[in-house]
Chain A
Amino acid sequence: MPLLHIENLSVSFETASGAFLAVDSVDFDVDAGERLAIVGESGSGKSVAMLAVMGLLPPTATVTADRLEFAGRDLRGLSPRARREVIGGDVAMIFQEPMSSLNPCFTVGFQIKEALAAHTDLDRKGRQERAVELMRQVGIPEPERRLTAFPHQLSGGMSQRVMIAMATACRPKLLIADEPTTALDVTIQAQILDLLVELQKDHDMALILITHDMGVVAETAQRVVVQYAGQQVERQDVFGLFEAPHHPYTAALLDALPDRASGNRLPAISGVVPGQGDRPQGCLFNPRCRFADETCRKVVPPRQPPELGEALCHYPLHREEKAA
């Protein structure tokens, strides 16, 4: 039984100009101790899908799914109280902007211990000890002193370490990291990623890593979901994906990888992710696809078999190699 089992999850927002489908029937299966990456450009609905799992979307969002299960329990059937026990306890999430994700009015220690108070029966002394241990675990020097610091006294990297300490405080079975390094300096990015993978391995925790950086995917993930305009356009293990991407969008993302040696960022794919008003007919990627033909512009593409990366495409790439 997978830890997280999601089938046909859709999220639409009520907006002034009508409903907007931000997530379009996506599926996730995450096993215990597994590292899954979700990649895609800005606006492809990565955050929204995960916020739907956490139940953190605003009331303007309508969430529908055939299945939304964690450890065999249907999350939708739970009372708000029972759901809060899962959220923050068994499933934790960290965010893109660590500096604004911590409450400026409370000390770091207060915010970590508060999570412990909500989900464990540690007493005051136990919480203090555990907080120090967590701070040490995420690599913060002088943990006792730092616990009394306010968030504005910390750098971005430190804040994200605190967020990680807070998220892992109650030993979650699944950690969702939403672009945890995007807002940080390049040198710090690698440290934070290493820390996440290390914690994931040490505690045998599942990790969902949201990113738009294929480099990050290569370094951390075991399995990859590529998302475009709310749809999952390809699902593969990481080696297969880098070796033989089947969806032209995946291939384009890989082509846009910056040359690490020279540090130059290659030109990204031209065009943008379609928004509310400009969703094309047929394949959503067709206006930006090098291979698109008349069929792609008219007909909604089929889901290919697992050998072809479950690509949502009429003409998946690298088909011949797979056949051979």
Chain B
Amino acid sequence: MFRFVLQRISLLIPTFIGVSIVAFAFIRLLPGDPILLLAGERGMTAERYAELQQVYGYDRPLLVQYGDYLWGILQGDLGTSIVTKRPVLSEFMTLFPATLELSFCAIVFAAALGIPAGVFAAVKRGSWFDQTIMGTALVGYSMPIFWWGLLLIILFSGILGWTPVSGRISLLYYFPQPTGFMLIDSLLSGQEGAFKSAVSHLILPAIVLGTIPLAVIARQTRSAMLEVLGEDYVRTARAKGLPPLRVVGLHALRNALIPVITVIGLQVGVLLAGAILTETIFSWPGVGKWMVDSVFKRDYPVVQGGLLLIAGLVMVVNLIVDLLYGLINPRIRHN
């Protein structure tokens, strides 16, 4: 087991280096100059420009810049934002709980709805229920997030006025945030209506972000269940005279969940990519919106560091999913 983990971690190293190169190159390939953008409308003299270039080290050859950047990473230093002058890592840490909260709620929403939907569709295979669910899943799967988010905002915020349009909580509330998770902090604050406000802010973005994972999970659950329901051990469970709920919900689902959990894990990457759009639509102050803003400001260190952190996160989650896979599948655990 320990060796397995080490092996997996060593496999991550080349991927990580690859990501660092992509992150470094991507932002430099975009037209635009961070120092000119810093200066804004007023512009600056040529001497001042050369001086700033030197301060930030952008006058040196690219290879040297990259080496410098890599050396920093190895020492745990991701650089400093040229816009806010704060360390990239600490900015990330402040904003990340917002993204985590949103992604977590999205995946919980997707799994809580997708797994039962997939199970019912499989049990009632070919029925109108099955066809409706799978048709909807196909639509959900190919839904452009941006368009879908705007549609929900127009309907629920604009026309019905049920939910707020942006942010994590109403401006009426102000309280310390020890955990960074608004749902928890608003409960801890004890302020009346704070939690409700946090939920109402979270609900639309979570649905938007969870839509694609929901469709994927429902389809995967259905196909896994269809396969498992034909297995001999399901017949054995029936032959024991167990109630259908136990046969389907325990004997079949327990086996079907093995591929489903893998798929949920793989959705983390999709989720973080989706978070960038979703956070932008809903002005959700998380790392997704932070990245987009930084790209517009050509904040090189933030884009490089942020991409690297997000990629690292996805890799770690995938590793955890692999380990979890061994845990839920006894056949692997014992080999």
B233 and A56 contact, CB distance less than 8 A: no
CB atoms of A87 and B239 under 8 A apart: yes
Q: Per-position contact with A for B245-272: 1 when CB-CB < 8 Å, else 0?
A: 0000001001100000000000000000
Contact partners of A20 in chain B: CB under 8 A: none
Contact of A54 (CB < 8 Å), options: B231, B233, B239, B242: B239
| A65 within 8 A of partner (CB) | no
Contacts of B330 in A (CB 8 A): 104-105, 150, 152
Task: Give chain B residues whose Cβ lies under 8 Å from the Cβ of A106.
Answer: 251, 254
Whether a CB of chain A sits under 8 angstroms from the CB of B85 is: no
Q: Which residues of B lie under 8 Å from residue A167 when comparing CB positions?
A: 239
In Å, the complex CA distance between A213 and B143 comes to 59
The answer to whether B255 and A104 have CB atoms under 8 Å apart is yes
Q: Are A88 and B331 in contact (CB under 8 A)?
A: no
Q: Which of B236, B238, B242, B254 has the most CB of A within 10 A?
A: B236
Given the complex of chains A and B, what is the CA–CA distance between A102 and B232 in angstroms? Answer: 8
- Known contacts A95-B236, A100-B231, A100-B233; decide if A89 and B334 are in contact (CB<8 Å): no
A-B contact number at CB 8 A: 72
Provide the residues of chain A in CB contact with B67, threshold 8 Å. none
* C-alpha gap A97/B334 in the complex (Å): 22
- Residue on B nearest A98 in the bound complex, by CB: B232
For chain B, the bracket of interface size reads: 20 to 34
A84 at the interface (CB under 8 A from B): yes
From B243, B244, B255, B328, A103 is in contact (CB under 8 Å) with B255
Asked whether, in the complex, the Cβ of B237 is within 8 Å of the Cβ of A103, the reply is: yes
Q: Which residues of B contact A100 (CB under 8 A)?
A: 231-233
Taking residues whose C-beta sits less than 8 angstroms from the other chain, chain A's interface range is 20 to 34
Chain B contact residues, majority secondary structure = helix
Q: Are A89 and B241 in contact (CB under 8 A)?
A: yes
- Cβ of B240 within 8 Å of any chain A Cβ, yes or no, is yes
* Neighbouring B residues of A150 by C-beta, 8 Å: 330-331, 334
Residue B8 CB within 8 A of the other chain = no
B233 to A101, Cβ gap below 8 A? yes
In the bound complex, residues from chain B placing their C-beta under 8 Å from that of A93 are 239
Instruction: Say if the beta carbon of A92 comes within 8 Å of chain B.
Output: yes
Chain A residue with Cβ nearest B257 = A105
With an 8 A cutoff between CB atoms, is A222 at the interface?
no
Cβ of A153 < 8 Å from any Cβ of B?
Answer: yes
Given contacts A84-B241, A92-B239, A118-B241, contact A105 B254 (CB under 8 A): yes
Query: Could you list some 19 contacts between A and B, CB below 8 A?
Result: A88-B239, A89-B241, A101-B233, A101-B235, A102-B233, A103-B236, A103-B254, A104-B233, A104-B255, A104-B330, A105-B328, A105-B330, A115-B241, A119-B241, A150-B331, A152-B330, A152-B331, A153-B334, A166-B240
